[in-house]
Structure 1
Amino acid sequence: MTPLLVNLLGTAGAALAVVLVAFVVGVVTGQHKVVDVAWGAGFAAVAITGLWLSAGHGDPANRWLVTALTVVWGLRLSVHIGLRARGTGEDPRYEEMLARAKGSRNAYAFRMIYLLQGVTLWFVSLPVQVAQYHDGPLTGWAAIGIALWLVGFAFETIGDAQLARFRADPASHGRVLDTGLWRYTRHPNYFGDACVWWGLFALACLAWPGPLTVLSPLLMTYLLVRKTGKPLLERHLARTRPGYAEYVARTSGFLPWPPRSSHSKGQ
């Protein structure tokens, strides 16, 4: 357990370093949306730090597998968000949050945006850190974990690509995307995120104390479904997209499911 405890401290330092760099960039540019780009990069930094610290303790194949899955997911997300945010203003969520600041807006932003996200990403990444110390063979749990990760990565990547094409089409202005994966779930990218982290949790369950990290994917799923993901986005779309209420009425809110007919009732 001692090497793992040292790892937990090292990865906490890596997460803090990423959010500190993002904070400096946010202060210089005056746009704190940069923290969203740092989110995925922070997970990659934690995984790479864990790979280095776990050398000589975990099975090499398992260490490299869980690291690669985390880094690929994290860097893809950071690049996607960075490209999407180019040429746009501050995220309305952060504008609203900073409007409540008393005293220094930057100090408030560091506490309530950057530091909070740094702690969250470190906690969510616990399955990755524990999995890197597994020194036994890959078993059926690994197959389950990889399958969940692949499903999640596909949903997230394809959903983001479909949304990017939709937004780039001038004819889509003011409309609601309800084709492709978006026909079956209002949030294929969020569903994909959740699957990725449940898959990484399955890899952590190859050995003790992996099962104890179950709160990490639960927290990620809660944030996506109930907190900073789906609710905030849907409130914004309900105000800005005509026809969004009808889309909500016929389309699953999270888990992919065939759309309800126009005669169906309820959510």
Structure 2
Amino acid sequence: MDGFDWSGFALVSITSLLAAAILMVITAAFGFRWGRHNVVDVSWGAGFVLIALIAAAFGDGDAWRRWLLAGLVAVWGLRLASHMARRSSGHGEDPRYKRMLDDAGGNRTLTAIRKIYLTQGLALWFVSLPVQVSAVTHGSLGVFTAVGAVLWLVGVMFESVGDAQMSAFKADPSNRGTIMDRGLWGWTRHPNYFGDACVWWGIYLIAAQTWPGVLTAASPLAMTYFLVYATGARLLEQHMAERPGYREYQARTSYFLPRPPRP
């Protein structure tokens, strides 16, 4: 990787890792004090914004790319953080985290630190590697940049529209006890998670426009894994499995990738 600014990348990456660690320590302090660890969902989106701003400020690559990515991450991350803050306000622990800690057994405090805060702090840093690498690279606009921006837009639309549709559904008392299967939720059981994946594949494509951004493909792959198998859709499906009508909803609706519902 001749010509790559290793010292500049080290500065951005180490600073980003330190920022993620500090953010998770602060988040954990609030989580243990309030007795609910879903506060980490607010810090998840905000943490990416923090790292993107660090990359834009400390990187010495093309200014337009640094601040383009900072802007895209900020729009996505702040929307997600504010949505999660509103959704968790006045409620108790997220059933996903409760089940995770119940199943783990042993010391719940150590388990929460290891499986929630440490894991998400490292994931913040790793998934944001395309942004970090892009902060110290140089190059011109190209097809990857354009396709990445479009994919990011698709992702934000899926996530924001899906969340708005679900919020409206839950606000209607006549829907109590039923399964949301309308709008985007009729095409995929997890439009918000699918949108998240599109956002980070779009950001990766923008990074891949210049070398060595193309080598950071493991970051969106990791994000997709988290969303589909680790802490996202899989845990939510386990929680929803025994709800009346959910098995039928699973039978006719795609798990992740959108497609028309089965008859």
Instruction: Find out whether 1:50 has 2:55 as its counterpart.
Output: yes
- RMSD between aligned residues: 1.2
Could you list the runs of 4 or more consecutive aligned residues of structure 1 that deviate by over 4 angstroms after TM superposition? Answer: none
Query: 1:75-224, aligned counterparts within 5 Å?
Result: 75-99=78-102, 100-103=104-107, 105-224=108-227
Q: TM-score, normalised by structure 2?
A: 0.94
Q: Alignment partner of 1:98: what SS?
A: helix
Alignment match of 1:17 (pick from 3, 7, 22): 22
Q: Residues 253 and 108 from structure 1, CA distance in 2 versus in 1: closer, same or farther, beyond 3 angstroms?
A: closer
Structure 2, unaligned runs of 5 or more: 1-5
Partner residue in 2 for 1:228: 231
Structure 1, unaligned runs of 5 or more: 262-267
Per-residue deviation, residues 151-196 of structure 1 (Å, max 9, x unmatched)? 0000000000000000111111111111111111111101100000
How far residue 101 of structure 1 moved from its aligned partner, in angstroms, is 4.6
Per-residue deviation, residues 71-125 of structure 1 (Å, max 9, x unmatched)? 111111111011001111112222233334534x333322221011100111011
Q: Alignment partner of 1:33: what SS?
A: helix
Q: Residues 98 and 185 from structure 1, CA distance in 2 versus in 1: closer, same or farther, beyond 3 angstroms?
A: closer
State the one-letter code of the partner of 1:45: L
Q: Distance in 1 between matches of 2:32 and 2:246?
A: 35
Per-residue deviation, residues 19-42 of structure 1 (Å, max 9, x unmatched)? 111011112111111111111011
Q: Percent identity?
A: 51
Q: Alignment partner of 2:130: what SS?
A: helix
Q: Distance in 2 between matches of 1:35 and 1:228?
A: 12
Q: Distance in 2 between matches of 1:201 and 1:115?
A: 24
Q: Alignment partner of 1:164: what SS?
A: helix
Partner residue in 1 for 2:72: 69
Per-residue deviation, residues 128-172 of structure 1 (Å, max 9, x unmatched)? 111222222221111011000000000000000000000111111
Count of residues paired in the alignment: 257
> Are the equivalent residues in 1 in contact too, given 2:155–2:198 (CA < 8 A)?
yes
Partner residue in 1 for 2:8: 3
Alignment match of 2:262 (pick from 250, 260, 263): 260
Q: Distance in 1 between matches of 2:165 and 2:46?
A: 23
